[in-house]
């Protein structure tokens, strides 16, 4: 199908973009990589009257490490995240997620800001973003807001973003010491989207006990979630196979799973348990 008519506007600064969003409130959409929004418009699931293309605002694309955290600009592409030296060294789960998104064209154009603002329940990043305790920084007419990832993803295709706000950056605290992280997924074969994806971030103390565990799951429910019961069951334990299995069997407890042509709800709940365990095992291996 062909999209509804729209006016295309290209601001060159972040301030201009926010002003335009405010001016055309409720009738405008931000365009980043276009790999989710353009298909939605062509299917007429979205019909903005104004498209505000932020793709030419260079101040939105960066990966920086400073003061114990990594800051990733909203316009940073999946390819840049996948290949960033800092992300590969410090946030392996996020680099893993970026590398597994779609295909090379999608990774070259799609952006992290666009992906999290879109909040597809099968998107890859949310699992890592939640497990890494990221903060989403937004900018709107009233200024900046800092939203913890746990408050950002609200429901299917729904975030805490106001209609006149732009995602500006994602901030992720870095952990020192013996730590490892990984993201693994079962992909839907045609699109690459996650039927189930799991990110694990673990910390080991000097005696090899799990002192920190964070697990994010995507693709299973209406939005990504933390496997809280598994995390609690693993903290303070030595990571023996039976301990991991018993704890990860709780990964999807209490979750209402999606049920569609790609996978039944029961299958997704099962995948969550299996992928949580595999992600934790991979994270432990990387921690050495």
Q: Is 140 near ligand FAD (CB under 6 A)? A: no
Residue 265 to residue 94: CA distance in whole angstroms: 26
3-class DSSP assignment, residue 158: strand
CB of 96 to ligand FAD, least distance (A): 12
Q: Is 96 near ligand FAD (CB under 6 A)? A: no
CB of 220 to ligand FAD, least distance (A): 14
DSSP state, residue 107: H
In b/e form, how buried is each residue of 81-106, taking b as 16+ CB within 10 angstroms?
Answer: bbebeebbebbbbbbbbbbbbbeeeb
Residue 287 phi, psi dihedral angles, 5° rounding: -70, -20
CA atoms lying within 13 Å on the CB side of residue 34: 12
Supply 275's token pair: 């992928």
Nearer to ligand FAD, 52 or 213 (CB): 52
Q: Is 32 near ligand FAD (CB under 6 A)? A: yes
Whether the CB-CB separation of 166 and 18 falls below 8 Å is answered with yes
Identified binder of ligand FAD from the candidate list 18, 20, 31, 200, rule CB under 6 A: 31
Residues 107-126 that bind ligand FAD (CB under 6 A): 110-111, 113-115, 117-118, 120, 123-124
Residues 64-83 that bind ligand FAD (CB under 6 A): 74
Residue 115 phi, psi dihedral angles, 5° rounding: -65, -45
Pattern of binders to ligand FAD over 187-226, x per CB under 6 A? Answer: ----xxx---------------------------------
CB of 118 to ligand FAD, least distance (A): 4
Residue 169 to residue 113: CA distance in whole angstroms: 7
Supply 6's token pair: 């729209």
Identified binder of ligand FAD from the candidate list 167, 172, 251, 280, rule CB under 6 A: 167
Instruction: Give contact residues for ligand FAD (rule: CB under 6 A).
Output: 29-37, 39, 74, 101-102, 106, 110-111, 113-115, 117-118, 120, 123-124, 161, 166-167, 191-193
């Amino acid at each position: 199908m062909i999209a509804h008519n729209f006016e295309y506007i290209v601001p060159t600064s972040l301030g201009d973009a926010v002003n335009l969003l405010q001016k055309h409130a409720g009738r405008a959409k931000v365009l980043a990589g276009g790999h989710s929004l353009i298909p939605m418009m062509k299917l007429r699931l979205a019909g903005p009257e104004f498209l505000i293309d932020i793709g030419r605002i260079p101040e939105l694309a960066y990966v920086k490490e400073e003061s114990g955290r990594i800051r990733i600009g909203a316009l940073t592409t999946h390819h840049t995240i996948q290949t960033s030296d800092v992300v590969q060294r410090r946030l392996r789960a996020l680099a893993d997620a970026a590398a597994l998104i779609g295909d090379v064209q999608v990774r070259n154009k799609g952006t992290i800001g666009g992906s999290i603002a879109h909040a597809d329940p099968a998107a890859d990043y949310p699992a890592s973003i939640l497990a890494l305790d990221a903060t989403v920084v937004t900018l709107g007419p009233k200024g900046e807001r800092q939203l913890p990832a746990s408050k950002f993803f609200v429901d299917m295709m729904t975030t805490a973003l106001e209609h006149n706000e732009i995602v500006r950056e994602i901030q992720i605290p870095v952990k020192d010491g013996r730590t490892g992280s990984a993201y693994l997924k079962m992909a839907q074969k045609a699109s690459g989207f996650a039927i189930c994806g799991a990110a694990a971030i673990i910390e080991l103390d000097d005696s090899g006990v799990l002192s920190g565990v964070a697990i994010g799951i995507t693709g299973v429910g209406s939005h990504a979630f933390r496997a809280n019961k598994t995390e609690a069951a693993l903290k303070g334990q030595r990571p023996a196979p039976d301990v991991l299995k018993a704890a990860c069997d709780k990964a999807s407890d209490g979750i209402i799973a999606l049920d569609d042509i790609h996978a039944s709800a029961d299958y997704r709940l099962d995948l969550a348990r299996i992928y949580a365990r595999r992600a934790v095992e991979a994270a432990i291996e990387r921690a050495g």
